[in-house]
Chain A
Amino acid sequence: MNMMLMAVGVLGAIGASGATILYFIGQKFKVYEDPRIEPVQDALPGVNCGACGFPGCNSFAKACVEADSLEDLNCPVGGADTMASVATILDKAASKVAKKIAVVRCNGTCENRPDKNEYDGAANCAIAAQLYGGSTDCSFGCYGLGDCEAVCPFDAIHVNPVTLIPEVDVEKCTACNKCVVACPKQLIELRKQGPKSRRIFVSCMNQDKGAIARRACQVACIGCGKCVKACPFDAITMENNLAYIDDDKCRLCRKCVPVCPTNSIWELNFPPPRKVETKKETASVDA
């Protein structure tokens, strides 16, 4: 009995002294963490994709807490809703960055852009880009080997097996910028999603002169400049035989779309829905 009591006493004493030491060490080396970081991090998507420019969601949460205003901070993945909830937690004004979507600026499908040779090296766009400009006469277009698909953390971009051009899933795309960086041809751009997902852009990156571009691909921008003249808002610029529509200035009036002789300007999600298709048909009849 005595022995038992002794054991309890000794172990209890060791435990108590250990606890005391631990308590003081804990006090001494305590790291203060802002209690708001955790709820902010919980409000974020938690994919750690790095699209915000920070290494992960935790760093972004810290930056949100420390910043005076949320103006320059934006989580492209979560979008306005997430930033609004972060703003409520922190009691700061939310940033107002328009939601963006990745668009692929090449429409060089097998039909539009016939193959001149065949690539059978490693299935990787970056490796193909070291070898040559592409299997067609256009050296600016898509290789269709899917570096963008491989890098997308949201399963939002897929190379269409028939056309060999990547297609973006608007529902899933979060504008994280990963495919933009991965594409060796700089074909992917983040553009404003637009009201009701309506967007207009030049679906071509070919900087060759008109005749050469047209010979290589039926739907290439030939740099004719008709769209520049048609645009009432000065939103279109022409550089190196290639038109570019500035989405800050574009008001989606669609005046540039019908004047393009090669249908390289795309309009998405406008009513009537497949106007581009019908126009393409007439164009091919004419040709």
Chain B
Amino acid sequence: MLKTFRIGGIHPEENKFSAGKSIETIAIPSEVIVPLAQHIGAPCQAVVKRGEQVKVGTLLGKSVGFVSANIHSPVSGTVKKIDKALDASGYKRDAVFIDVVDDIWEESIDKTNSLNRDYDFTSKEIIDKIFAAGIVGMGGATFPTHVKLTPPPGTKAEVLIINGVECEPYLTADHTLMMEKTEEIFVGIQLLMKAVNVNRAVIGIENNKRDAIDKFRETAKFYPSIKIQPLKVQYPQGGEKQLIDAVLSRQVPSGALPISVGAVVQNVGTAFAVYEAVQKNKPLVERVVTVTGKDVTNHCNVLSRIGVPLRNLIEHAGGLPETTGKVVSGGPMMGKALASIDIPVTKGTSGILIIPTLEARRKQMKDCIKCGKCVNICPMGLNPTLLMTLTEYEVWDKAEKEKITDCIECGSCSYTCPSDRPLLDYIRLGKSKVMGIMRTRKD
């Protein structure tokens, strides 16, 4: 019997067209734009000046504050300027523009593909290396990894959960990485286990990736402390709290962190990035991106440097189809519609999804018929239709009592609503308002 989380969940069409396609490398363009805010938390402070020479791996932005991550140059060349540039947030924010010259790497980086299994680091050394390399959660949330690996005082991690779920339809970046970099991911997991001082790790993989499960099981024979847990296909299983419930049958209380039930969750992509950072001294300068969509000619998984315009990746996949209605960064459920395709790849770009016009159009919103479908499928056990109404009428105290801040913004409610109501749009608005109110109360 396959495990899954207990409350709610949906099963949208999977449409994983690019599954099984091997990783292709994207050519480096003549100019890259590296945004200084690629993670949740405070944006970086630029440490380079106009005209300065940089190599691959040179620090561009220094992390300021606890929740922040360093940003390194993904190319070698000259800093053209530091200016505002449009990014996936939809706003213009500070970014470093670099004119590319050759492809010279910092000497400390081992850029070979050879596997390096041996390590001799303490927990602190590993976390420091992860911090220095600017690793963030690669699943798309981009939360700085070193923060997650530093549990608050008084808490103790028992088990490390590795997220190989990739529950978003269309996306196959993690899947491909799992197939091609299996050993590296396992070494990365061991490093993460060492970093949080646990002797047990469970990798959760959804059952639609049979080949990955088999390959991981095969490899896990040599790593007795790492277990593979196949999971029933169910969205949003990749959510931290849902995955903990599915794998450990433990429920994280409302408002608490996963560490409160002894779990630390990391993505497989993060595990690979940790391997590269610790064993190869390689900062996070490239990532795997899925480029796909119903009318895309060449579905692909590409390895792209940070800062490359999405336009180049789309061109690699055969260019924008004529039917294009929307270009989304990320998957169809949680991804974000983009205002332009000239924005750069960032640490959190897990996929580029091109949706045809017919499907991209939102349908006319109709009245709520109180069918309760959204209540049934909400994986956090919330009442989405009530939360939307409370936001519309700005009843913030009631919205807070109804735990609007628990919403993980998975979009299952909007997906399932037969009246096509923009439930999540409103809930997200209400959530940010309520969080603002709660912050001012704390101050």
A binds B: yes
Mask: chain A, 205-217; 1 = CB below 8 Å from B; 0 = not:
0001000000000
Q: Is the CB of A126 within 8 A of B429?
A: yes
Known pairs A121-B425, A124-B425; A132 contacts B361 (CB<8 A):
no
**Nearest CB in chain A: distance from B290 CB, A:** 22
**Which A102-144 residues have C-beta < 8 A from chain B?**
116-117, 120-122, 124, 126-127, 130-133, 135, 139
**Is residue B339 contacting chain A, with contact meaning CB distance below 8 A?**
yes
Residue B426 is within 8 A (CB to CB) of chain A in the complex: yes
Which chain B residues numbered 312 to 341 have a C-beta less than 8 Å away from chain A?
Answer: 336-337, 339-340
A122 CA / B430 CA spacing, docked (Å) = 14
Answer whether residue B90 sits at the interface, using C-beta atoms and an 8 A cutoff: yes
**In the bound complex, do residue B339 and residue A121 qualify as a contact, i.e. CB atoms below 8 Å apart?**
no
Give min CB distance, A138 to chain B, whole Å. Answer: 10
B84 at the A interface (CB under 8 A)? yes
Determine how close the nearest CB of chain A comes to the CB of B10; give it in whole angstroms. Answer: 21
Residues of B within 8 A of A132 (CB): 89-91, 339
Interchain nearest-CB distance for B81 vs A (Å):
11
Which of B78-94 touch A at CB < 8 Å? 84, 86, 89-92
Rounded to whole angstroms, the CA-CA distance of A121 and B339 in the bound complex is 13
B15–chain A nearest beta-carbon distance, Å: 22
- A121's partner among B86, B91, B422, B432 (CB-CB below 8 A) is B422
Cross-interface CB contact of B425 among A117, A127, A139, A208, cutoff 8 Å: A127
Assembled-state Cα–Cα distance A131/B88 (Å): 9
B426 touches A122 (CB 8 A): yes
Interface presence of B371 (CB below 8 A): no
B91 contacts A133, C-beta separation under 8 Å: yes
B362: interface (CB < 8 Å): yes
**Chain B residue nearest to A135 in the complex (CB):** B339
A139 and B92 within 8 A (CB)? yes
Select from chain B the residue with minimum beta-carbon distance to A151.
B394
User: Does B365 count as interface, using CB distance less than 8 angstroms?
Assistant: yes
Chain B positions 364-402 with a Cβ under 8 Å from a chain A Cβ: 365
B residues 403-443 near A (Cβ < 8 Å) are: 422, 425-426, 428-429, 432
Residue of A at shortest CB range from B83? A209
A131 adjacent to B90 (CB under 8 Å): yes
- By a CB distance below 8 angstroms, the chain B residues around A130 are 425, 428-429, 432
> Which chain A residue lies CB-closest to B88?
A132
A103 to B428, CA, bound (A): 29
On whether the beta carbons of B362 and A139 are closer than 8 Å, the reply is no
Q: Known: A120-B362, A122-B365, A132-B339. Is A127-B92 also a contact (CB below 8 A)? A: no
- 7 new A-B pairs (CB below 8 Å) besides A130-B428, A132-B339? A120-B362, A121-B422, A124-B425, A127-B425, A133-B91, A133-B339, A139-B92
User: In the docked arrangement, what's the CA distance between A208 and B83, Å?
Assistant: 10
- Does B90 contact A122, Cβ atoms closer than 8 Å? no
* Chain B residues in 8 Å Cβ range of A117: 339-340
Expressed in whole angstroms, the Cα–Cα distance for A131 and B428 within the complex equals 11
Greatest chain B CB density within 10 A among A122, A127, A130, A133 is at: A122
Contact of A121 with B92 in the complex, beta carbons under 8 Å: no
Most buried by A among B84, B86, B362, B425: B425
Chosen A-B contacts, 18 in total, with CB atoms closer than 8 Å, are A116-B339, A116-B340, A117-B340, A120-B361, A121-B362, A121-B425, A122-B422, A122-B425, A124-B425, A124-B429, A130-B432, A131-B336, A131-B337, A132-B89, A133-B91, A133-B339, A139-B91, A139-B92
Closest 4 CB pairs of A and B: A132-B90, A122-B422, A122-B425, A133-B91
Q: How far is the CA of A208 from the CA of B365 in the complex (A)?
A: 36
Report Cα–Cα, A87/B365, bound state, in Å. 51
| Distance between Cα atoms of A132 and B90 in the complex (Å) | 4
* Bound Cα distance A267, B77 (Å): 50
User: Across the interface, which residues of A come within 8 angstroms of B365, CB to CB?
Assistant: 122
Q: Which residues of A contact B340 (CB under 8 A)?
A: 116-117
Task: Tell whether A127 pairs with B361 under 8 Å between CB atoms, given A132-B91, A208-B92.
Answer: no
- Could you tell me the distance in whole angstroms from the C-beta of B184 to the nearest C-beta in chain A? 36
Q: Which A residue's beta carbon lies closest to that of B428? A: A130
**Bound complex: CA of A124 vs CA of B427, how far in Å?**
13
Shortest distance from the beta carbon of B408 to any chain A beta carbon, whole Å: 16
Interchain CA distance A127-B432 in the complex, whole Å: 11
Distance in angstroms between the alpha carbons of A5 and B146 in the assembled complex: 93
Q: Hey, what's the 0/1 contact readout for B102-139 against A, CB within 8 Å counting as 1?
A: 00000000000000000000000000000000000000
- Most chain-B Cβ atoms within 10 A of its Cβ — which of A124, A132, A208? A132
Task: Known A116-B340, A132-B339; judge A127-B426 contact (CB<8 A).
Answer: yes
Bound form: Cα–Cα A63–B391 in Å? 31
**Contact: A127 with B339, CB < 8 Å?**
no
Residue in chain A with minimal CB distance to B89: A132
B90, A133: Cβ atoms under 8 Å? Answer: yes
